[in-house]
Amino acid sequence: MGGEIVSVILLLFLLVTLWKGVRIVPQGEEWVVERLGKYLKTIMPGLHVLVPYIDRVSYKVTTKDLILDIPQQEVITRDNAVLVTNAIAFVKVTDTQSAVYGVTNFQVAVMNLVQTTLRAIIGAMELDEALSSRDHIKAKLKDSISDDVADWGLTLKSVEIQDIKPSSTMQKSMEMQAAAERERKATVTRAEGDKQAAILEAEARLESAKRDAEAQVRLAEASAEAIRRIANGIAEKELPAYYLLGEKYVTALKELAVGPGSRTVVLPADLMKSLEALLGGRRSG
C-alpha cells in the first residue's frame, strides 16, 4: 500500500516536471523565460525544453498587430474652443524583451502617450484648423510618438483619428453664432436694399426735377418767342402785352366759371381798360 502511494507521487512529480520542462509556444506569440528571476531568453513559436523549477515563463506576448482604442477626451484649442476627440492606434511588438521590461504595461503606455500627444497637437491649433486638418493631425501624431514607442520594442503601424468634433456646449454656441451671423447678413442685405431703393428714389426725384426745370425753361423760352413774334407782328409795343395778359385773364375767368362754387361770372364792361389798369398804364388814343 505504501509503495503504491509513492509510485503515484512519483508519477505526478514526473508529469509536473514534464509540463514545466516541455513548453509549446503557439503561432503569433513569443514567451519570455526567466531563470531564477533573471531574464534568460525569448522563445519563439514551437516546441521548447526548459529546466524545470529553475526556468519560468514570465510573460506571454502576442506578436500580432494590436488594436488600441484610445478613449474619448476633451481638448481645448488655442482659441479656447472645446473639442471632443478619440483615436485608434495599431501597434506591433518587434522586441519582446523591451516590451516587457521597458515599460510596466506597453498597451496602457501607448494609449496614454497618444492621448497626451493628441491634446498637445490640437491645443496648438485654432478651432477651424483642427476641424479641417484631420490628416495633418494624424501624420503629426504618428511622427511624434513613433520614436517613443520604438524604445518600448514596438512599431507604430498606424494611428487614425476616429472622431473630432465640438463638444455639446460648443455646438450650441456655434449654432447660436451661426444664427447671429445669418441674421447679421440678412440685416446687411436689407439695409443695402433700402439704401439702393433710397438712392434710386432720390435719383428719380432728381431726374424728375431736372425734367421739370427743363420743361419750365422750354415753356419760358416758348413764351418769350411768342412775345417776340407777336411784338414783331404788331407795331404797337403795348399790344403784345395786352394780348398775353388778356389771354391769361380769359383763361382764369374760364376756370373760375367751371369751379364747383361758381354760378355767375361777371366780365368787366371795358376789357381793355381793365387790362390797362392791371398794367398800371393807359393806352394812348
Summarised one tens digit per residue, pLDDT across range 180-192 is 877 888 888 888 8
pLDDT tens track for 55-71: 899 999 999 999 999 99
Least Cα distance to 98 among 36, 155, 26, 47 occurs for 155
- Residue 87, judged by CB atoms within 10 A of its CB (0-12, 13-18, 19+), counts as buried
Of 65-79, 166-180, 224-238, which range is least confident? 224-238
Examine the pLDDT at 231 and tell me if it is beyond 70. Answer: no
Least Cα distance to 93 among 152, 26, 138 occurs for 152
Which whole number is the average pLDDT over 233-240? 56
Q: Is 229 helix (H, G, I), strand (E, B) or coil?
A: helix
Per-residue pLDDT at 20:
78
Q: Which class is 66-166 in CATH?
A: alpha beta
Which whole number is the average pLDDT over 164-191? 79
CA gap 35, 16 in Å, rounded: 18
Cell of 268: 368787366
Per-residue pLDDT at 216:
83
Q: Which residues contact 274 (CB under 8 A, 6 or more apart)?
A: 249, 268
Per-residue pLDDT at 17:
80
pTM, to two decimals: 0.58
DSSP label of 65: P
Per-residue pLDDT at 131:
87
For 23, other C-beta atoms within 10 Å of its C-beta total 16
Q: List residues bridging with 41 in a β-sheet.
A: 33
Examine the pLDDT at 283 and tell me if it is beyond 50. Answer: no
Examine the pLDDT at 1 and tell me if it is beyond 70. Answer: no
Examine the pLDDT at 227 and tell me if it is beyond 90. Answer: no
Cell of 190: 436689407
For 92, other C-beta atoms within 10 Å of its C-beta total 15
Are 119 and 78 a contacting pair, CB within 8 Å? no
Residue bearing the bigger pLDDT, 26 or 175: 26
Per-residue pLDDT at 246:
65
H-run or E-run covering 33 = strand 29-35
- C-alpha dihedral, 80 to 81 to 83 to 89, nearest 10°: -40
pLDDT tens track for 84-141: 999 999 999 999 999 999 888 999 999 999 999 999 999 999 988 888 888 999 999 9
Planar angle of CA 261, 266, 271, nearest 5 degrees: 135
Are 47 and 22 a contacting pair, CB within 8 Å? yes
**Residues above pLDDT 90, as percent of the chain:** 35
* Domain boundaries of the chain, sorted by first residue: 2-62, 66-166, 169-233, 237-285
Q: List residues bridging with 189 in a β-sheet.
A: none
Q: Which residues contact 5 (CB under 8 A, 6 or more apart)?
A: none
CA gap 32, 39 in Å, rounded: 7
